[in-house]
Structure formats: C-alpha cells, structure tokens
Amino acid sequence: MHSDAFDRYHHHDSALHRLDPRIKVVVAIAFILSNALLPDGAWMAFGLAWLFLILANALSDLGLGYTFRRSFIALPFALVAITVLFSVPGKPLSQFHFMMWDFTVTDAGLLRFISIVIRSWLSVQMAILLVAVTRFPDLIHAFEHLRVPAILTTIIAFLYRYLFVLTDEVMRLLRARQSRSAAAAGQRSGGGVLWRARVAGNMSGQLFLRSYERSDRIYNAMLARGYDGQLLTLNPHELHARDWAYALAAFLFILATQFVGWF
Amino acid sequence: MPITHPIHKMVFPESEGDVLKVRDLHFSYPDGHVALRGISLNLCSGDKVALVGPNGAGKSTLMLHLNGILEGRGEIELRGLRLSRNNLPVIRSMVGLVFQNPDDQLFSPTVFEDVAFGPLHMGLPEADVRARVTSALEAVRMSAFKDRLSHHLSVGEKKRIAIATVLSMNPSVLVLDEPSAGLDPRARRSLINLLRELPITMLVSTHDMRLVQELFPRTVVMDDGQIVADGLTRDILEDEELLTAHGLEKP
Amino acid sequence: MPITHPIHKMVFPESEGDVLKVRDLHFSYPDGHVALRGISLNLCSGDKVALVGPNGAGKSTLMLHLNGILEGRGEIELRGLRLSRNNLPVIRSMVGLVFQNPDDQLFSPTVFEDVAFGPLHMGLPEADVRARVTSALEAVRMSAFKDRLSHHLSVGEKKRIAIATVLSMNPSVLVLDEPSAGLDPRARRSLINLLRELPITMLVSTHDMRLVQELFPRTVVMDDGQIVADGLTRDILEDEELLTAHGLEKP
Amino acid sequence: MLYSPIQPMHIPDNFLSITVSLICWAITIITLGVAISRTNKSLGERQVPLMGVMAAFIFAAQMINFPVLGGTSGHLLGGVLAAIALGPWAGMLVMTAVIAVQGLLFQDGGLIVMGANILNMGLLTCAVGYGLYRSVIGSNRTVKLAVIGVAAWLSVMAGALSTALQIWLSGNAQLQVIVPAMLFFHAFIGFGEALITVAAVLFIIRTRPDLLGEGTESAQGGRGWILTGVLLTLIVVLLSPFASTNPDGLNRVATDLGFIQSAQTASGPLAGYTVPFLESVSASKIVAGVIGIIVVLAIVFITGRSMQNKRGLNTQSNNIQATRPPIENRKP
Ligand SMILES: Nc1ncnc2c1ncn2[C@@H]1O[C@H](COP(=O)(O)OP(=O)(O)OP(=O)(O)O)[C@@H](O)[C@H]1O
Ligand SMILES: Nc1ncnc2c1ncn2[C@@H]1O[C@H](COP(=O)(O)OP(=O)(O)OP(=O)(O)O)[C@@H](O)[C@H]1O
Ligand SMILES: [Mg+2]
Ligand SMILES: [Mg+2]
C-alpha cells in the first residue's frame, strides 16, 4: 500500500523506458560484466564506461544526477574492499600494526582498491538505472524470455506482489509493539535481551502463520480461476528494429570500452 | 428457538430457470469440525441472493463448494451440469468466486495480468482474452487501470478489480464473500451501485444488513452449518425473533 | 462547501479536566504526502469521542501521533506532560493505542503473554504483572481465555484481547482505530456494550455511523488532514450537508 | 525504516574476481536445477503460491528487529527457518528469490556475484540448517530447539566462511585476516539468528504443529541431508581455525589450482583470474572470463530447457489435464 519506497521505478515516457526489457537487462549485465573484466587502473576505459552511463541517463529522462545520487546509498559497501589495500603484493607505501597482524599498504593494493571502488560504483549505477526505467513485472518477463526457469520467475513475481502486503503487515506489527513499549515513570524498561529476542521471534512466527494461511487462500483463489499447476501470462513484449539498433549501439560502445581498457 | 422453515423452491418474477442447485450438502473439515450439515439451495437465473449468518455459520465453506475447491457429500448442479472431478474446469468457468480480501484474489503484479488469468487458463486465444479483459474492466469502470500495479490501488479499487477478474470468465453465477467489509461509506456506495447494475445471478455473503435490505430481494440465513431461513428479504428482516436467534440485527 | 466551525473547547457535564491536548499538529509522510494540516483537539477526562471521516482523512495518522510513533510539528500534551523524545516511554504507558486489525496487536502465542507484554516491558515485578493481566482480562470479560492461543480465537474475541493488552498498562486515554470493522452483529453489539462500560477516556475512529450515534456524545469530523467539525453528535448527524460533503452518511 | 535491512554478507559487484563469481554461479545453478526438479515432485501445484508468499515472508520478516547491545539490533536472515518449514529444496528456491530481489530491486548485492550471494546466504544456510534439523526430527522438543539454535548459528558462520574464502580466492584479502574478521563479526549476527529462529519455531510448534510436519515428511534423501549437514558443520568447525592460524596450506592448494598467483613480482595486481597454462596474463584473463561465461550460459540454457519439459508432467494434477504449453511458449 504505502510502501511505495520499495518501488524504484520512475514513471516517464523516455526512449529508455520504451526499450524492450530484454534488451535493457542484457545490456545492463553486459556493461557490469565489462566493468569486471577491465584491468586495474584503466582510467580511460573507466571514463568511457562513465560516459556510457551518462548517455544512458540522458536517454532516460530521469535527470543526470539521479543514479549518481542514489548510488551513494550503496557506497558504504566499498569499505568491505579495504582489505585489498594490504593483500596485494607490491611496493610498500606505509605500514602499521594491529592486534597480531602487520599491515602493509602497497601501491598495487591502492591501485586495486581505487579500481574496485570505481568499477563497483559504475555497476551499481547501472543496476539502479535499470530498475528505475523498467517496471519490475517487465523485468520478470524479460528474465522469463531469457530462459530463467519459470518456477523461479513465478516465485519472484509472487514475492514482488506480496512484498507490499507483508511489509505493511510488519510495519503495523512493529508499531503495535512500539506503542506498548512503555515505562512506568522513573522505571528502567525493556526487559532482557533474551526476552526481546523471543518477542521478535514470536512476531516472526505470527507473520509466518499468517503468510502460510494467506498462501492457502491465494491458492483457492487461483483454483477458482482455473489454475491447474501452470501459470500462463500474455507477454506484451515484441522486439522492434529500434530495440535492435539500441542493442547494437550499446554493444559496440562496450566493446570499444574493452578495447581502450586493454590496449 | 422458533425457526422459519426453509423454503426450498422459490420462483421470483424475474427467474428464468435454475442456474444453481445444491442438494443435501454435508462437509467436515479434516480436523473433524462439521461445517455443513445438509444444505439445499436453488438459485434461478437473475436472482440476487444474500447469504447471512453469524461468524462460523459456514457461509465461506459453502461458497468454496460451489466451484469445487472443497468437496463434500451431496450434489451440486450448475446449469444442469453435475459437479464432478472431470468437469471442474468447466464448472470453475461458470462460477465466479470473489474472496473477501482482494489481496488474496489479486496475486499478479499488474491489473491486466490478473484479469487475464482466468480467460488464459480457459485456453482462449489471445484476441479473445484481450477482448474479455477490456469488457470486464469496463463493466467495473476500471478501464484506465489496466497497466497499473495491483499493490498501489486503494481497497475500493482493489475490490472492483477483484470482481473484474471473475467477470472476465463470463460466469453464470457470481459468488461474493463479504464484498463490503472494510470499505468506507463512499466506496461502499459505489460497490452497491456496481452490484445493482451487473446483470448477472449472484450469491453474496455479508454481515452488512443494510446492504441486504437495499440490494437483495431474497435472503438466505445460515447458522451452524444449516440453512435456517430462505425467503423474501422484507419478510426475514421483519422477523425479529429469527434475527436475534441467529446473532443478526435489523438494519 | 459549508463547514461547521470547529468548536475548540467543549466542556461536557462529566468532564473533570484536560487529559489530552493537541495544538496545531502538522505532519507529512516521508514521500511528501501531507497527512495532517494543523490539528487542534482537546479531550477531557471521561470524554468518549468519535473520530469520523472518509478514507485517507488522516485519522490513523493522528492516532499514531498521540503516543509518539509518528512525530509531527506541533504540541501534544498528556495530563500536562508535554510529549517529547525523552518521555516517550511514559507517554506510551498513558495512551493505550488499539489498532484496527487485532492480528497486528496480538503477536505472542498465548493470550496471557500478549496481555503481559506491556507491564513486563514497563519493568514491573512479576506479582504486579499478574495482577494487571488478571484485571485487564476481567475488564473485557475474557478471564477464561488466559491460556488460549491467540491465533485460534474469533475476530470478536481477538478484539477484546487486543483491548485488554492496552488496559493492562493502565492508560489514561484509550485510542481505538476502527474497532468494529469486520465484526458480525453479535460481536459488534458486545463490543459496544464493552466500550460503554469501560470507565475511561476514549477516542475512537470509525466508519460505523450507527456506532457513533449509539455510543459517543461528541464527534469530531476530519477530512483532508483537518478537523472540519467538532461538536455534539446529535448536531453533527443532523447536518446532512456536512456529512455528504465529507463522504459520510446518516445512520 | 522502509528499506531492506543491509546485510554485511551481500557482496557487491566487482568484489570477487570473474572466475570465482562464475564458479559460484555454476555451483548455484546446478544446485538450483536439482532443487527445482525436487520441489516439483514433492509439493505439486500448490507449491507456487506457497513458495511465493513464503519468499515475501522471509523478506518482510527480515524487518523485524530487536535491540541487542549499544544501539545495534538483531534480525532474521531466514535460511534455516525456510528450510525447516518448507523442506530444504523449496527453502533454497525461496531464499534464492529473496536474494535475487534484494540484488535486483535494492542493489543489495551485485548481479555478477549474485551466484555467490545465493550460494552463501541461500543454499549453504538451508543445507546446514536442514541437515542438522533432519538428524533430530524424532527427538523431543528441547533437543530439537537446541539443535535448531545451533544450526541457525552455524548456518550464518558457514555463509560467512564461504564469503571469506571467496574474497580470498579472488585475491582481495589475506586469509589470516579475512577469515577471523568475518567469523568474529558474524558470530554475533548468528547469535541473533539463532534466538529468533528458535523463538519462531517454538511459536509454530505451539500454534500449528502440523505445519512443521509437512516440510519434514517430504524428507527425500533424508540420510543424505544429515550427512550434508554434518559435513558442512565439520568444515566450518575445522576449516575456520585452520584458515586463520595456518593459511599456508590453503594457499598452496589454491595456487596449485591456479586461483592465486604465488608470484610476488610484477604480475601482482592481476592476481585473480588466470588460466594457468596461458603465458600472457592479460589474454588469459579474457579467455578465463569468456570460458566462464560460456559455461554458465550453457548450464542456464540446459537447466532451463529440462525444467521446462518437466514442469508440465511433474505437477500433481490429479483432476485436470495439464497439456497446455508452459509460459515461455505462449509468446504472441
Ligand atoms: N480450514 C479449516 N479447518 C477447520 N475448521 C475450519 C476451517 N475453516 C473454517 N473452519 C470452521 O468451519 C466453520 C465454518 O467456517 P466458515 O469460514 O465457513 O464460516 P463463515 O460463515 O464464513 O464465518 P464468517 O462470517 O466469520 O466469515 C467455523 O466453525 C470454522 O471455525
Ligand atoms: N506510510 C505512508 N506513506 C505515505 N502516505 C501515507 C502513509 N500512510 C498513510 N498515508 C497517506 O496519508 C493520508 C492519511 O492516511 P490515514 O491512514 O491516516 O487515513 P485514515 O483517515 O485513517 O483512513 P482510513 O479510514 O482508510 O483508515 C492518506 O492519504 C494516505 O494515503
Ligand atoms: Mg466467511
Ligand atoms: Mg485508518
């Protein structure tokens, strides 16, 4: 209902929005893969990849800053890569001691670290752009066409649909708990960790039962409309010449990036 | 406890013939709970019938039998076709069952896919499916919502779409389980108008006695797995003794 | 659209003094939707006030402010204590908030555990907790249900237990969000009797205009994040223009 | 609080080398292929809405947190709960859907490394959890709950260990640093997971004991699961201290397999993905990538095909004929 925050899709009518979802998925994955294949320190290629991203952004009608702003949410993950600084052999830049280990920051390590952060930043922005210009149901159709097993795409379609129903339910449960999390005046409140964990577990169990029973009712509703073990959908997507043209252009660009990166 | 005698066969002016016949239906849940104890019921073409009764009377259980989701002892006939395992798919296309909670009914990501689900499973060709979806959405006045995502709709809108999902199967009978629950007065009013307009036989379970009074010429009262009264709504609503005996109230 | 002027201060015969004061409360949801646009409201001790209005008027949003689950711009005072971050736990013990769906409120396996949650969280000694649970269950007439599993109760029973879960915290004000939704007539009647008996200040949001008429001397009408009328129920229910303007109906 | 809870185990793109990512994808795809055919056999047509809603449940349940210490909070990851309640194979599919949506919709974990994420957080957790649970199915409630608690803790540790190993194999961290760091951190997360899982299972036992019967009765390969569970447990218990105190042994193995270049010289920065028999580092990297992609595509294609053929037949459709073509063939 109100969990709109879950929907990353932005409604516009741009060239990118109208592009066939299959093309969008394949190009996005190719772009991310291409980033992963670029060597460390291929600054020119990184620049080209960034240009690709900016062009795609321009086609999307979202405003140039959109993916850039959103990507900061994913950036804290980059800290995980900090270990790279010390693990790649090379010329030592600085050294320190922590607990029982000696750490040496090397030039190669630094290069790798910066490269990883840039590459993963590029990749995250592409993923953000993909879901911002493709409605999730279309994305699911695209994966269906790309031969992801139907049962998985169906589970994902259900997950997407009931995500909103169940997260609303969780929000209400959390609010109910919150509103009874009181204290008598001047008293310490909250109970022990074990008790709190138990309450959280009870809430999960409660939610589990309700989800389970809901799935029963959904199954009934499906039976009532003729379900017999197969899910059928009409698929409204068709590949036009325009889609192929975009795909071709994108692949040429990505190939060029690889070329620049390696030679 | 004085109980009006069930009237097993009532012919209303607009009736053309029997659409639905239920004869002596018994059912127990796997845990042993007896939910239906000999239900007999006839519905004629064009009938709009209310099904009332306290919580746990067995209304929902009865409705789940009408298109073979539950299987009890007894006979069910739809347009002369006896319900059995072999003709379940045909029966299911004839009985349009709408559940209380539209979130249970709308399980596809988009409105279009949901309304198309029934016709697709009937094996219709694509053009027919599209035509049916369009006309079903028109019938509930929601044509503009075709490409919307189900989870962004309001309860009243969801309710209408849920009705469209079964209308698209061109059912002979529409069976609605508590359609007005949880609607605000405005949405409720618009649902009443919709149900009044739909030219289709319907059986509607509800706790909303004012809805019964406004919309349904005939009422069936259930309690404890049995039909305890079946007759003209105005007669039943006048029978205070009957109403209080079965946990109901005059509107 | 002619709108009755909000009456900001009404003293009813049984009033003893202010329990709850809300002054110029504004609130927008994170997505930018403005839900409250300057709400001012006083509740006196012993008041039983109905809060009505169409879907989306902001009733639930207002209620969530009263014990600090949402935090808007404006002032809220409970028994003279100004609501702020520091005294949230104390405020929460003074405002008993009961949600529309009892399933949201009952998250423990047994009735006892659920009713004990509030007192336990307040850090009371075991004997006190037990005493409070017992008296809360007595107040809603459900003492016999202490060891039952919440999951298997009927909706009406769940509703009573949900009320008990906040009564056990000895609140100064009881805030109920659509308590009669989804109840059958019998359960609804028994809820009405229960609310009538409880000697406690209460603010109740509902779409059930007959409940309003029967139970509440005072009614507050909300629409679009504002209070558009506040006065004696009998006056408001007579004002057809006001009612239709805000999607309500005369009972 | 309208976000999916961020989990430290979700690896973003480019944190693993291409080779490691693709190997993980291969393992994941093969396992999922088995899982799909098994769930088709055991659950029948009812599986679709059940698993779909359960996936949404896991997603939503991850939002239920409880304050632990100093402002941190614990919440459910859900692998063990899913495996216990739905059986191991269905549990894996459900967890896969959850991780896929977290990666796709929320960029919580990358796309190329999604295979690794599914392996760590979905497949391993379900395998460990169900394996240990399966071994105590007949026992009394206390034993069961205790084992479930241990299984939940171990499942998190197994996921953490495998994440650590993947990062190390990618040449992005030193074994003696990454293993203890990941395990130390996740020991606490695992503790929260154990508490919530036990409480949730206890809740289900008290209210609907019949539900827990269902997933477990389908115990195909029951003994196999016990073996898997015990084996994985042993690996976690034995490998963790070994990896953190004596990394040289593992390094040797990895070097021999061609994962890690032992050379400390100029080719250092390119350690990671090489085909050992190729001389030119850069060329070998490209070849490795291409081979990996081809392998993955082939596997995806084959499993997709075989699933498609099986689907219509395996669904238990006692009263309806299932002759219609599955989704893929009904494109306009
Ligand atoms: N799955 C089930 N297993 C066992 N008993 C059940 C099940 N579903 C319903 N019942 C029982 O069967 C009886 C009839 O239930 P049913 O849901 O048909 O009542 P209802 O008339 O629809 O009530 P309501 O007005 O509350 O919807 C009740 O006593 C109920 O407890
Ligand atoms: N979490 C949320 N995020 C954004 N908007 C919200 C959220 N919750 C409610 N709203 C919006 O705020 C407005 C007030 O909602 P609220 O739930 O308070 O209405 P209400 O009067 O309780 O309605 P109802 O009678 O349907 O319960 C509505 O327009 C609603 O769409
Ligand atoms: Mg019912
Ligand atoms: Mg509300």
ipTM given for this complex: 0.85
CA distance A262 to C160: 72
Please provide the average confidence, as pLDDT, over all residues in chain A.
Answer: 84
Q: How far is the CA of C138 from the centre of ligand 1 (A)?
A: 28
| Region for residue A99 given its phi and psi (left: phi exceeds 0; alpha: psi -120 to 50; beta: otherwise) | left
What percent of chain B clears pLDDT 70, i.e. is strictly above it?
A: 93
Q: Which residues of A touch D106 (CB under 8 A)?
A: 8
* CA-based nearest residue to A69, from A145, A132, A12, A14: A132
CA distance C84 to C69: 11
Q: How far is it between the farthest Cα atoms of chain C?
A: 57
Q: Which of A86-100, A232-246, D197-211 has the lowest mean pLDDT?
A: A86-100
Determine, for residues B108 and A225 on separate chains, whether the beta-carbon distance falls below 8 Å.
no
Q: Which of A9-18, C9-18, C178-187 has the lowest mean pLDDT?
A: C9-18
User: Strand B81-82 vs strand B34-44: parallel, antiparallel, or unpaired?
Assistant: unpaired
Q: How far is the CA of B177 from the centre of ligand 3 (A)?
A: 7
Q: How far is the CA of B208 from the centre of ligand 3 (A)?
A: 13
Q: How far is the CA of A205 from the centre of ligand 4 (A)?
A: 26
What is the predicted pLDDT for the residue at C161? 92
Q: What is the pLDDT of residues A7-41, one digit of tens each?
A: 777 778 888 888 999 999 999 999 999 998 888 88
Determine, for residues A88 and D105 on separate chains, whether the beta-carbon distance falls below 8 Å.
no
Backbone dihedral angles phi then psi of residue C99, each to the nearest 5 degrees: -80, 160
Chain B to chain D, count of Cβ pairs less than 8 Å apart? 10
Residue B171 scores a pLDDT above 70? yes
CA dihedral B96, B98, B99, B105 (to 10 degrees): 100
Q: For B185, which of C154, C155, C207 is closest by C-beta distance?
A: C207
Residue D327 scores a pLDDT above 80? no
Residue D21 scores a pLDDT above 50? yes
Q: Which residue has the tokens 């129903």?
A: A165
Determine, for residues D207 and C109 on separate chains, whether the beta-carbon distance falls below 8 Å.
yes
Mutate to test the interface with D, among A72, A230, A258 (most CBs of D within 10 A): A230
Q: What angle do CA A120, A124, A128 make, to 5 degrees?
A: 170
Average pLDDT, integer, range D25-42: 87
Average pLDDT, integer, range D58-63: 90
CA distance A256 to A261: 8
For ligand 2, atom 25: residue with the closest CA: C55
The confidence band for B63, taking pLDDT boundaries of 50, 70 and 90, is: very high
Determine, for residues B187 and C249 on separate chains, whether the beta-carbon distance falls below 8 Å.
no
Q: Which of A91-95, C40-44, D302-306 has the lowest mean pLDDT?
A: D302-306
Q: Write a three-state SS string for D123-191.
A: HHHHHHHHHHHHCCCCCCHHHHHHHHHHHHHHHHHHHHHHHHHHHHHCCCCCHHHHHHHHHHHHHHHHH
Residue C84 scores a pLDDT above 60? yes
> Is residue B38 in contact with ligand 1, taking CB distance under 6 Å?
no
A-contacting chains (≥3 CB pairs under 8 Å) = B, C, D
Q: Which residues of C touch A188 (CB under 8 A)?
A: 123
What is the DSSP track for chain A? --GGGG--------HHHHS-HHHHHHHHHHHHHHHHHSPTT-HHHHHHHHHHHHHHHHHHTS-TTHHHHHHGGGGGGGGGGGGHHHHS-S-EEEEEEETTEEEEEEHHHHHHHHHHHHHHHHHHHHHHHHHHHS-HHHHHHHHHHTT--HHHHHHHHHHHHHHHHHHHHHHHHHHHHHHT----TT---S--HHHHHHHHHHHHHHHHHHHHHHHHHHHHHHHHTT--S-----------HHHHHHHHHHHHHHHHHHHHHH-
Determine, for residues C182 and B181 on separate chains, whether the beta-carbon distance falls below 8 Å.
yes
Q: In Å, how far is C148's CA from the nearest CA of chain B?
A: 18
Q: In Å, how far is D98's CA from the nearest CA of chain B?
A: 16
Residue D88 scores a pLDDT above 60? yes
Q: Which residues of D touch A6 (CB under 8 A)?
A: 2, 105
Determine, for residues D206 and C109 on separate chains, whether the beta-carbon distance falls below 8 Å.
yes
What atom of ligand 2 comes closest to residue C58's alpha carbon? 18
Q: Which residues of A touch C165 (CB under 8 A)?
A: 180
For ligand 2, atom 17: residue with the closest CA: C60
Q: In Å, how far is C84's CA from the nearest CA of chain A?
A: 14
Q: What angle do CA D50, D51, D56 make, to 5 degrees?
A: 100
Q: What angle do CA D84, D89, D95 make, to 5 degrees?
A: 75
Determine, for residues A226 and B126 on separate chains, whether the beta-carbon distance falls below 8 Å.
no
CATH level 2 (architecture), domain D18-324: Orthogonal Bundle (1.10)
What is the predicted pLDDT for the residue at D91? 93
The confidence band for D72, taking pLDDT boundaries of 50, 70 and 90, is: low
Please provide the average confidence, as pLDDT, over all residues in chain B.
Answer: 86
Q: Which residues of D touch B88 (CB under 8 A)?
A: 319-320
CA distance B59 to A139: 40
What atom of ligand 2 comes closest to residue C64's alpha carbon? 18
What atom of ligand 1 comes closest to residue B59's alpha carbon? 21
The confidence band for C232, taking pLDDT boundaries of 50, 70 and 90, is: very high
Q: Which residues of D touch A73 (CB under 8 A)?
A: 107
Determine, for residues B99 and A226 on separate chains, whether the beta-carbon distance falls below 8 Å.
no
Alpha helices in chain C (DSSP H): 59-66, 88-94, 102-105, 111-121, 126-139, 155-167, 185-197, 209-215, 233-238, 240-245
- Buried/exposed code over A184-206 (b: 16+ C-beta within 10 A; e: otherwise): beeeebebebeebbbbbbbbbbb
Determine, for residues D66 and A83 on separate chains, whether the beta-carbon distance falls below 8 Å.
no
> Is residue B60 in contact with ligand 1, taking CB distance under 6 Å?
yes
CA distance B112 to B161: 10
Q: Which residues of C touch A173 (CB under 8 A)?
A: 104, 107
CA distance D38 to D42: 6
Q: Which residue has the higher pLDDT, A85 or B53?
A: B53
Residue type, B67: N
Q: Which residues of D touch C110 (CB under 8 A)?
A: 206
CA distance B207 to C210: 14
What is the predicted pLDDT for the residue at C130? 94
Residue B204 scores a pLDDT above 70? yes
Q: What is the pLDDT of residues D152-178, one digit of tens each?
A: 999 999 999 999 889 888 888 778 778
For ligand 2, atom 12: residue with the closest CA: C35
What is the predicted pLDDT for the residue at D297? 57
Q: How far is the CA of C122 from the centre of ligand 3 (A)?
A: 38
Q: How far is the CA of B191 from the centre of ligand 1 (A)?
A: 25
Please give the residue of chain B at the shortest CA–CA distance from D322: B121
Q: Which of A78-87, B106-115, C103-112, D293-302 has the lowest mean pLDDT?
A: D293-302
Compute the half-sphere exposure of residue D302: CA atoms within 13 Å on the CB side of its CA: 12
The confidence band for D63, taking pLDDT boundaries of 50, 70 and 90, is: confident
For ligand 1, atom 12: residue with the closest CA: B35
> Is residue B33 in contact with ligand 1, taking CB distance under 6 Å?
yes
Backbone dihedral angles phi then psi of residue D222, each to the nearest 5 degrees: -55, -50
The residue extents of the domains of chain D are: 18-324
Q: For B85, which of D49, D319, D324 is closest by C-beta distance?
A: D319
Mutate to test the interface with B, among C52, C55, C224 (most CBs of B within 10 A): C55
A167 touches chain D (CB under 8 A): yes
A93 touches chain D (CB under 8 A): no
Tokens for A255, please give them: 């190939």
* CA-based nearest residue to D81, from A134, A211, B148: A211
Q: What is the pLDDT of residues A129-151, one digit of tens each?
A: 999 999 888 898 889 888 888 88
Domains located in chain C, CATH noted = 8-243 (3.40.50.300)
Determine, for residues A151 and D36 on separate chains, whether the beta-carbon distance falls below 8 Å.
yes
Chain C to chain D, count of Cβ pairs less than 8 Å apart? 11
Q: Are A6 and A167 in contact (CB under 8 A)?
A: yes
User: Strand C48-52 vs strand C218-223: parallel, antiparallel, or unpaired?
Assistant: parallel
D258 touches chain A (CB under 8 A): no
